[in-house]
Amino acid sequence: MPTNLNFSENKILLFMKKLNPGYFEFFFFRYGVIVIFILLTAMLIYFFGKEKDPAPLACISIGCFLFLLFMCMAEYKMLKTKLPPANVFLTNDSLIINEITYPAEQIRQITYMPVKNTPYKFEAYCFEIKTNNGTVFYFLDKSRNWKLESPTMKLLQKHPVFSLKTKEITHIKG
């Protein structure tokens, strides 16, 4: 039976790890690299160029900021309506999903899968958590490491309780 999280009790959580990234972290790693590249290029042209008028650099900076803001808001709105992400923490023997504790016995399956219908054709990865009572939760994956592995999937596969309940889908039919 899921229970509400109450930190005032005298329970000690020996292990607690946040599995999903924050929205800023998720969107920055998707679009921030583009903005940083454009800004660095504009700064190099400004500092090593002959013309020292700061107006073009300011316009590029404002444009990049507005681009990042628009892209993040558009993708956040699309994700929120089509795939509402949950806030998930992993503990020794349970998952805390949106501040409600689900013991391992309540979790039927955790599936790692690509999401291809995100805006602007960037592929994202998310996890789907199915509980025994039929409730389904989704949460976004963190940025992949240099080996293109999911740190969250790696953590779940090493976890003694959830390793048998975790599976990966490499492509979605359709």
**Which comes out higher in pLDDT, residue 165 or 174?**
165
List, for residues 62-119, the tens digit of each pLDDT value. Answer: 988 888 888 878 877 777 777 777 888 888 888 888 888 899 899 999 888 876 655 5
Instruction: Tell whether the model's pLDDT for residue 8 goes beyond 50.
Output: no
Residue 1 lies in a domain: no
Look at residue 17 in the predicted model and tell me its pLDDT.
77
- Residue 12's pLDDT band, with cuts at 50, 70 and 90, is very low
Let me know whether 35 and 102 are in one domain. no
Look at residue 119 in the predicted model and tell me its pLDDT.
52
Residue 41: both structure tokens together: 């290029």
Q: Mapping DSSP to helix (H, G, I), strand (E, B) and coil, where does residue 125 land?
A: strand
Residue 102 lies in a domain: yes
Residue 63 lies in a domain: yes
Residue 129 lies in a domain: yes
Instruction: Tell whether the model's pLDDT for residue 121 goes beyond 60.
Output: no
Let me know whether 118 and 130 are in one domain. yes
**Which comes out higher in pLDDT, residue 42 or 121?**
42
How many folded domains does the chain comprise?
2
List, for residues 23-39, the tens digit of each pLDDT value. Answer: 667 777 777 888 888 88
List, for residues 132-160, the tens digit of each pLDDT value. Answer: 988 888 887 777 666 777 788 888 888 88
Let me know whether 121 and 159 are in one domain. yes
Let me know whether 93 and 159 are in one domain. yes
70-95 exposure pattern, b = at least 16 Cβ within 10 A, e = fewer: ebbeebeeebeeebebbebbbbeebb
Let me know whether 128 and 59 are in one domain. no
List, for residues 45-60, the tens digit of each pLDDT value. Answer: 888 888 778 888 888 8
Tabulate helix, strand, coil % of the chain (nearest 5). Answer: 40, 25, 35
**Which comes out higher in pLDDT, residue 123 or 42?**
42
* Among candidate residues 59, 81, 103, the one where a domain is terminated: 81
Let me know whether 61 and 133 are in one domain. no
* Among candidate residues 81, 101, 125, the one where a domain is terminated: 81
Residue 124's domain spans which residues?
A: 85-168
Q: How far is Cα 82 from Cα 29, in angstroms, rounded to an integer?
A: 21
